[in-house]
């Protein structure tokens, strides 16, 4: 039973680590998209300082909208990844708690067994000492 729970804990830990990696990748993607959006904004502002071209401005705005949509989608993906990390963290914590419960029960059972074995051993020593004492008393009494 303990081995099975330990295996489940390992699986939960691995799933948690994978979720953390996915979240990190999603956060990096958000950061990259934000940088691209910033570059688009800077390019739009720089383009407006020079001569105005309606066709170029429309194309730039369309590309900027696409990047803004990509940024929003990346942020949603990052939020989903964070939620998934929280879910996996909770699953790992529960699996770890179950393993700890089994370990504690196992330690208590071992301690109880050691105490019982020591008590039985002491009873055996007491009985042996009593026999020796009674045997010595019987040999000394006339």
pLDDT digits (tens, 9 = 90+) for 31-48: 999 998 888 888 777 766
For residues 60 and 44, the answer to whether their CB atoms sit within 8 Å is yes
pTM: 0.66
pLDDT at residue 111, rounded to an integer = 95
- The Cα 45–Cα 47 span in angstroms is 5
Q: What are phi and psi of 51, to 5 degrees?
A: -70, 145
pLDDT at residue 64, rounded to an integer = 84
pLDDT at residue 89, rounded to an integer = 92
Structural domains of the chain, ranges and CATH numbers in brackets: 2-140 (1.10.287)
Does 73 have pLDDT greater than 90? Answer: yes
Q: What are phi and psi of 98, to 5 degrees?
A: -65, -40
- The Cα 81–Cα 1 span in angstroms is 32
Q: Which residue has the higher pLDDT, 62 or 51?
A: 62
- The Cα 12–Cα 73 span in angstroms is 28
For residues 9 and 96, the answer to whether their CB atoms sit within 8 Å is yes
């Amino acid at each position: 039973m303990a081995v099975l729970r330990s295996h489940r804990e390992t699986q939960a830990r691995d799933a948690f680590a994978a979720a953390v990696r996915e979240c990190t990748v999603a956060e990096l993607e958000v950061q990259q998209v934000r940088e691209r959006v910033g570059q688009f904004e800077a390019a739009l502002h720089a383009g407006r300082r020079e001569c105005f071209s309606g066709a170029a401005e429309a194309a730039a705005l369309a590309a900027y909208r696409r990047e803004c949509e990509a940024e929003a989608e990346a942020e949603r993906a990052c939020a989903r990844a964070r939620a998934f990390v929280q879910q996996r963290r909770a699953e790992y914590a529960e699996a770890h708690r179950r393993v700890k419960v089994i370990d504690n029960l196992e330690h208590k059972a071992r301690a109880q067994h050691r105490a019982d074995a020591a008590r039985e051993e002491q009873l055996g020593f007491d009985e042996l000492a009593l026999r020796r004492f009674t045997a010595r008393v019987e040999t000394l009494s006339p």
